[in-house]
A and B are shown apart, each in its own frame.
Chain A
Amino acid sequence: MDKEDYTKLGFKQEKSKDFSAKNLDYKNLGFKAGLEIHQQLDTHKLFSRAPSILRSDEPNYLVRRKLHAVAGESGEVDEAALYQVSLDKEFVYEVHSGTTSLVELDEEPPYQINEEALKIALQIALLLNCEIQTLTQIMRKTVVDGSNTSGFQRTVLIARDGYIETSEGKVRIDTICLEEDSARKIFENEKEVRYRLDRLGIPLVEIATAPDLKSAAQVREAALKIGEILRSCKVKRGIGTIRQDVNVSISKGARIEIKGFQDPSMMITTVNKEIERQERLILGKMKVVSEVRRALPDGTSEFLRPMPGAARMYPETDLPLLKIHRDLINEAKKTLPKLKVEIEEDLRREGLNEEMIKLLFKRNQVKEFGELMKIYPNANFVAKVLLVLPTEIAVRENLNEFDVEKKFGKEVISDVLEKVREGKLEESDVRNVFEKIVSGESLEDALKI
C-alpha cells in the first residue's frame, strides 16, 4: 500500500498532531522495536583495492546493464526481487577512472576481504560485547534494484550475541555483519536508473539489535549509544556515512522497517507517528502490511518498497570460507580504541575543564590534542592554543574565523609549543606570535621574539 492509497481512505497525512511519548502506553500497545545501523568504515573498498572516495566530477564513461530475475535457492522468487525486476529498467553506471575498479563493474572476481576493515569491524563487535564468529562464509544477498552491479551485496556475519546498556535496560545485539555499501543513485526516469559506482563496495558494518526496545525514547538512546561506540573506531564521518533503520511493530500490527533517519533526534517523533499510523489502520479494520518505509523530515514516513523476503542469501563462491584468526582478534583487542566516556575521563584527569572537553569533541580534535600534549603537557594551555586562541584573534581583528584557523595547522602549533617547551618562548608570548602569523608574518619571523 502506498501513500496515495492511504489518502484515498481518508487517512491523509496529519502533520499538526504531535505525538509525544507520554501519550502512548508502549507496554499495552505491545510495542517492539529493533535497530539496524549501517556505518561506513574509513578504509579502501571491502573486496577490491579501489579507494573509498566519493566523486563529484564528470564520469569518464558509462556502462549500461540489465538485471534478470533469479529464482531463490529454494525455488521461490523473492517478493522484493520480483517487484524490482518488474520495473524492467536499464541501469546506467557512472565510471570514474582512478577510483572504479573492475570489481565494482562486476567484471572481475572479488579480492580477498580487506583485512583493515575486518579488524575495525572486530573492534566494533568487541566494544558491543559480541562473540566473534571465527568460522564464517561470505554471502551474496540478492539485490536487484541495480544498486549493486552484480545483482547482490556481499555480506558476512562476523559476530553475534552482544549487548549494550541503556537507562531502560539491556539491549541485545543479535548480529554484526561486514558488508559492501551500494552504488549511489544519481537519477531515475521511466526508462533508466543512473548510479555512481564510487560508493559501491565501501565497507559497512551492519549492527542489528534484538527487538528489545521498549519505547521510542529507548530507540533513540540505543541509536545514540551505538553511534558513540562507532565513532570511537576508524569510521567515516559526515552525512551519509551512517544510516539507521528502525523496525517497529505493535500487537495486531505488522513489522515495519523505517529507513533514512537523518538525525536520531527525529526517532521519537517518527516512531510515535508510525505507531499512530498502524493504530489508525487497525481501527479502520485495515490490514497492516509489512513493508519498508522512508522517514520524512516532518516525522511521518512514506512507502518505499515491500519487505524483502528471507530467502535471498547464497554463498559467495569466488571466495573461500572466512577464518578469523586468533592473531587478528588479539590485534584488534590490543588496539581497541577508547570510548568517548573513557577519553572524557582521561581528559578530566589531565585537568581539562568540561567546556574544553566538549569543544574538543565538537571540533573532532581529540587526536591532535593528544599529540600536542606529548610536546607540551599542559592540558589547559594546549587546549587554549588549539581551540580558543585562533578564534579569539579572528573575532578581535574582525577576520573570517575559518581563514584564521587554517593558518594554525598541527605543524605550526607543534613548532610553537616546541619553543615553549625549550624555554625559548614564554606561554604569555604565544598570543603575540599568533597575531604576527595572522598579520602575514612567516612562522620563522613570528618566532623571533
Chain B
Amino acid sequence: MKLFIVGIFVLDMKIDSGIKAGDEVEIHFVKEIYEGTLIESPESDKNIVLLKLGNGYNIGFPRKEILEIKLVEKARDAEEKVELKKSSGKPNIAMVITGGTIAARLNPKKGGVDWLDTPESLFKYYPGIFDKVNVLRLERPFMKASEDMDYKDWQKIAKVVSELLNDTNIQGVIITHGTDFLHYTSAALSFFLGKLNKPVVLTYSQRSIDRASSDANLNLVCAAVAATSEIAEVMLVGHANESDEFCYAMPGTKVRKLHTSRRDAFKVVNGKPFAKVTQDGIEIMSNFNRRNNSKVKVDNKFEEKVGLLKIYPGQEANVLDYYVKNGYKGLVLEMSGLGHAPTSRARHGWTKKLKEVQKKIVVCATSQCINGRVDPLVYSNGRELLETGIIYLEDMLSEAALVKLGWILGHSEWAKSKEVVKEKMLHNFAHEFNKMLEG
C-alpha cells in the first residue's frame, strides 16, 4: 500500500549513467548537496542510498528524497601486487578453502563481501602462516557458509584432500571452513579418509579478518604447525581459551561447537586434544597415528536418508512415522540422560512405536547431555528401550553419530544386515569412541 503511494508522488531520481558503488558522487536534495563515496545499498533495503562522507562516516538517505546523483570521479581500482614469500627452507603444505568467515572479507568501499581465495589474498591478510610454511597448492572446491553444506560437500572435500595427501611434495593439508557445521565436516573427513599418512587440519575464524583482533591469525599459524607435525589425523585446530596464546588440536570425531561466538567455541567432548599447539611448537596430550608413507584411499559413500532427532518431555512417538514414510534408512535419537525416551509408563510412550519402526530403519542412541556415555542398563526404563533393538552408541557425539550412520549405511554390503550395521556402528574407526572416560 505504502509503496503504491510512493509510486505516485515520488519524483524520478536522476542518476548519471554508469555510476557504481565506490564512485565519488554528489547527492542533490531540494535544499542541499552532499559529497562522498557511494556505498552499496543494504541487501535488505534497496530504497536506501548510502554515502561515505569525507570524515569516514556512512550515512543514508531514502531514495525518494534524492533529486539527482552526479558523478564526481570514478573509483580507482587499486589492484595491488602482493609478492608471495617462498623459500626452500620451509615445509610445503596445501590449503583447501571452502568459505566461511575465515575466507570472507568485507569490501567497505562497495559494501559487499570478497572471498580470500588466492594465495596472494591470503598472504595479504594472514602473513603469519607464510612465515611457517610454503603454500604449495591451494584448492577451492566451492565457497560456502558451512550451514549451507551437506554430505556432497564433505565428499568433494575428501576427494580433494586425498589427492593432496598423496602428493609427495606436500607435508600436510589445512582446510579453512565456516564454524557452524565444522564439526560435522571434521567427523565426515575422519570416516571418509580412513587411516592417514599426513596431518589434515581444519581451522576457522570466529572474528572476521577485517578486525585487528581476528582469531584467524593464531588459528592459522597453529594450523600450519599442526599440519607439519607428526600427527597424521583429521583434527580441528583452534583457540584453547579466550587468549591469543595457544590452540588445541582436537580429534575430528570428538569435537563440538559449544559456544555461539567465543574464540574457543570448539571443545573436545569425552576425550582429550591430540596436542597443545603454539606458534613455536607442539605438546602432545594423547595417542595419535604417526606420519607415514602409505597412500590414502577415500571411502566417501554416504546414505543421505539419515536423521537426528532430539527427544523432549511429552513428545509423541508418531513423529517416527515421518521418517519411515519418507524413506529414511537410519535415525539417531538424542535421548535424555543415560539414554532414555518416554517409556510405556509415560502418557505418550515410545516403546511400542520404537519396536515397530526398527523393522524398517536403524535406530541409534546418543545422549543430549553431550558429556558422558549412554548406558541403558542402569534403569528399568533403559532396559525396556534397549529391548526394542536400539543401538546405544556409548560416548559418541550425536553429530559424529549422524555422520557415521550415513557413512555406514552408504555401504550397501553393510546396510543389508542389521547385525553388520550394529557391529560397524560400534567399531572404533576414527577415535569416535573413548574406552576410558576421565574426570
Tell whether A and B belong to one assembly: yes
A residues contacting B by CB (< 8 A) are: 63-71, 73-75, 81, 85, 102, 105-109, 133, 135-137, 139-142, 144, 149-152, 155-157, 175, 177, 310-315, 317, 320-321
Q: Which B-chain residue is minimally distant from A313 (CB atoms)? A: B56
Instruction: Check B326 for interface membership: any CB of A closer than 8 A.
Output: no
| A73 with B217, Cβ < 8 A, contacts A135-B48, A136-B59 known | no
Which residues of B are found within 8 Å of A63, using beta-carbon distances?
Answer: 242-243
Within the complex, the shortest CB–CB distance from A41 to chain B, in Å, comes to: 19
- Quick one: CB contact mask for B28-49 with A, threshold 8 Å, 1 for yes? 0000000000010010110010
| A314 with B210, Cβ < 8 A, contacts A71-B124, A136-B60 known | yes
Q: How far is the CA of A310 from the CA of B54 in the complex (A)?
A: 8
> Could you show 20 A-B contacts with beta carbons less than 8 Å apart?
A65-B244, A66-B217, A67-B212, A69-B212, A70-B209, A73-B109, A75-B80, A109-B261, A135-B59, A142-B212, A150-B207, A150-B213, A151-B211, A157-B57, A310-B56, A313-B56, A315-B106, A315-B111, A321-B48, A321-B60
- Quick one: CB contact mask for B227-243 with A, threshold 8 Å, 1 for yes? 00000000000000011
Given contacts A81-B212, A137-B58, A152-B211, 20 further A-B contacts (CB under 8 A): A63-B243, A65-B213, A68-B217, A70-B211, A71-B125, A74-B78, A75-B78, A102-B262, A135-B59, A135-B60, A136-B59, A137-B50, A139-B57, A139-B58, A142-B212, A144-B212, A157-B55, A157-B57, A177-B57, A313-B57
| A136 with B58, Cβ < 8 A, contacts A73-B108, A317-B106 known | yes
Are the CB atoms of B44 and A320 closer together than 8 Å?
Answer: yes
Interface of chain A, helix or strand or loop or mixed? loop
Which residues of A are found within 8 Å of B212, using beta-carbon distances?
Answer: 67-70, 81, 85, 142, 144, 150-152
Instruction: Check B314 for interface membership: any CB of A closer than 8 A.
Output: no
Within 8 Å by CB of B262, from A74, A107, A152, lies: A107
Which residues of B are found within 8 Å of A142, using beta-carbon distances?
Answer: 212
Instruction: Check B371 for interface membership: any CB of A closer than 8 A.
Output: no
Instruction: Check B281 for interface membership: any CB of A closer than 8 A.
Output: no
Q: How far is the CA of A151 from the CA of B128 in the complex (A)?
A: 18
8 shortest interchain CB distances as A-B pairs: A151-B212, A313-B56, A314-B108, A135-B60, A137-B58, A73-B108, A157-B57, A64-B243
Which residues of A are found within 8 Å of B141, using beta-carbon distances?
Answer: none
Instruction: Check B245 for interface membership: any CB of A closer than 8 A.
Output: yes
Q: How far is the CA of A108 from the CA of B61 in the complex (A)?
A: 30
The A-contacting residues of B in range 101-148, CB under 8 angstroms, are 106-109, 111, 124-125, 128
Give the one of A71, A133, A137 with max B CB within 10 A. Answer: A137
Within 8 Å by CB of A106, from B57, B58, B213, lies: B213
Q: How far is the CA of A65 from the CA of B62 in the complex (A)?
A: 41
Within the complex, the shortest CB–CB distance from A195 to chain B, in Å, comes to: 13
Which residues of B are found within 8 Å of A135, using beta-carbon distances?
Answer: 48, 59-62
Within 8 Å by CB of B244, from A66, A175, A315, lies: A66
Q: How far is the CA of A69 from the CA of B207 in the complex (A)?
A: 15
Within the complex, the shortest CB–CB distance from B255 to chain A, in Å, comes to: 19
Q: How far is the CA of A358 from the CA of B130 in the complex (A)?
A: 67
Q: Which B-chain residue is minimally distant from A144 (CB atoms)? A: B212
Interface of chain B, helix or strand or loop or mixed? loop
Instruction: Check B340 for interface membership: any CB of A closer than 8 A.
Output: no
Q: How far is the CA of A173 from the CA of B397 in the complex (A)?
A: 60
Within the complex, the shortest CB–CB distance from B182 to chain A, in Å, comes to: 18
Which residues of B are found within 8 Å of A141, using beta-carbon distances?
Answer: 56
Q: Which B-chain residue is minimally distant from A311 (CB atoms)? A: B56
Q: Which A-chain residue is minimally distant from B76 (CB atoms)? A: A74
Instruction: Check B218 for interface membership: any CB of A closer than 8 A.
Output: yes
Instruction: Check B358 for interface membership: any CB of A closer than 8 A.
Output: no
Q: How far is the CA of A182 from the CA of B353 in the complex (A)?
A: 60
Are the CB atoms of A74 and B109 closer together than 8 Å?
Answer: yes
Instruction: Check B198 for interface membership: any CB of A closer than 8 A.
Output: no
Which residues of A are found within 8 Å of B244, using beta-carbon distances?
Answer: 64-66
Q: How far is the CA of A81 from the CA of B106 in the complex (A)?
A: 19
Within the complex, the shortest CB–CB distance from A97 to chain B, in Å, comes to: 13
Give the one of A102, A135, A311 with max B CB within 10 A. Answer: A135
B residues contacting A by CB (< 8 A) are: 39, 42, 44-45, 48, 50, 52-62, 78, 80, 106-109, 111, 124-125, 128, 207-214, 217-218, 242-245, 260-263
Are the CB atoms of A321 and B42 closer together than 8 Å?
Answer: yes
Within the complex, the shortest CB–CB distance from B88 to chain A, in Å, comes to: 27
Are the CB atoms of B56 and A139 closer together than 8 Å?
Answer: yes
Q: How far is the CA of A175 from the CA of B55 in the complex (A)?
A: 10
Q: How far is the CA of A65 from the CA of B218 in the complex (A)?
A: 10
| A137 with B218, Cβ < 8 A, contacts A150-B211, A314-B210 known | no
Q: How far is the CA of A52 from the CA of B298 in the complex (A)?
A: 56
Which residues of B are found within 8 Å of A67, using beta-carbon distances?
Answer: 212-213
Q: Which A-chain residue is minimally distant from B52 (CB atoms)? A: A313
Are the CB atoms of B56 and A133 closer together than 8 Å?
Answer: no
Within the complex, the shortest CB–CB distance from A429 to chain B, in Å, comes to: 62
Are the CB atoms of A310 and B55 closer together than 8 Å?
Answer: yes
Are the CB atoms of B56 and A102 closer together than 8 Å?
Answer: no
Which residues of A are found within 8 Å of B107, using beta-carbon distances?
Answer: 73
Which residues of A are found within 8 Å of B124, using beta-carbon distances?
Answer: 71
Within the complex, the shortest CB–CB distance from A381 to chain B, in Å, comes to: 52
Give the one of B39, B62, B207 with max A CB within 10 A. Answer: B207
Which residues of B are found within 8 Å of A105, using beta-carbon distances?
Answer: 242
Q: How far is the CA of A132 from the CA of B45 in the complex (A)?
A: 21
| A136 with B57, Cβ < 8 A, contacts A63-B242, A70-B210, A314-B210 known | yes
Which residues of A are found within 8 Å of B128, using beta-carbon distances?
Answer: 68
Within the complex, the shortest CB–CB distance from B47 to chain A, in Å, comes to: 11
Are the CB atoms of B58 and A140 closer together than 8 Å?
Answer: no
Which residues of B are found within 8 Å of A68, using beta-carbon distances?
Answer: 128, 212, 214, 217
Q: How far is the CA of A91 from the CA of B99 in the complex (A)?
A: 30
Q: Which A-chain residue is minimally distant from B45 (CB atoms)? A: A321
Q: How far is the CA of A157 from the CA of B53 in the complex (A)?
A: 10
Within 8 Å by CB of A65, from B55, B208, B243, B261, lies: B243
Q: How far is the CA of A66 from the CA of B246 in the complex (A)?
A: 12
Q: How far is the CA of A291 from the CA of B239 in the complex (A)?
A: 38
Which residues of B are found within 8 Å of A109, using beta-carbon distances?
Answer: 261
Which residues of A are found within 8 Å of B208, using beta-carbon distances?
Answer: 317
Which residues of B are found within 8 Å of A157, using beta-carbon distances?
Answer: 53, 55, 57, 59
Which residues of B are found within 8 Å of A108, using beta-carbon distances?
Answer: 260-262
Give the one of A65, A155, A156 with max B CB within 10 A. Answer: A65
Are the CB atoms of B211 and A312 closer together than 8 Å?
Answer: no
Which residues of B are found within 8 Å of A73, using beta-carbon distances?
Answer: 107-109
Within 8 Å by CB of A137, from B57, B209, B211, B260, lies: B57
Q: How far is the CA of A143 from the CA of B125 in the complex (A)?
A: 17
Q: How far is the CA of A152 from the CA of B218 in the complex (A)?
A: 19
Q: Which B-chain residue is minimally distant from A106 (CB atoms)? A: B213
Q: How far is the CA of A105 from the CA of B53 in the complex (A)?
A: 30
Which residues of A are found within 8 Å of B211, using beta-carbon distances?
Answer: 70, 140, 150-152
Which residues of A are found within 8 Å of B48, using beta-carbon distances?
Answer: 135, 321
| A314 with B57, Cβ < 8 A, contacts A105-B242, A151-B212, A152-B212 known | no
Q: Which A-chain residue is minimally distant from B260 (CB atoms)? A: A108
Q: Which B-chain residue is minimally distant from A152 (CB atoms)? A: B211
Q: How far is the CA of A346 from the CA of B125 in the complex (A)?
A: 61
Q: How far is the CA of A375 from the CA of B108 in the complex (A)?
A: 58
Q: How far is the CA of A11 from the CA of B61 in the complex (A)?
A: 52
Within the complex, the shortest CB–CB distance from A132 to chain B, in Å, comes to: 11
Are the CB atoms of A312 and B56 closer together than 8 Å?
Answer: yes
Q: How far is the CA of A74 from the CA of B78 in the complex (A)?
A: 7
Which residues of A are found within 8 Å of B78, using beta-carbon distances?
Answer: 74-75
Q: Which B-chain residue is minimally distant from A149 (CB atoms)? A: B213
Which residues of B are found within 8 Å of A136, using beta-carbon distances?
Answer: 57-60
Within the complex, the shortest CB–CB distance from A230 to chain B, in Å, comes to: 21
Q: How far is the CA of A102 from the CA of B209 in the complex (A)?
A: 19
Give the one of B125, B210, B212, B262 with max A CB within 10 A. Answer: B212
Q: How far is the CA of A73 from the CA of B210 in the complex (A)?
A: 9
Give the one of A71, A107, A108 with max B CB within 10 A. Answer: A107
Which residues of B are found within 8 Å of A315, using beta-carbon distances?
Answer: 39, 58, 106, 108, 111
Which residues of A are found within 8 Å of B242, using beta-carbon distances?
Answer: 63, 105, 107
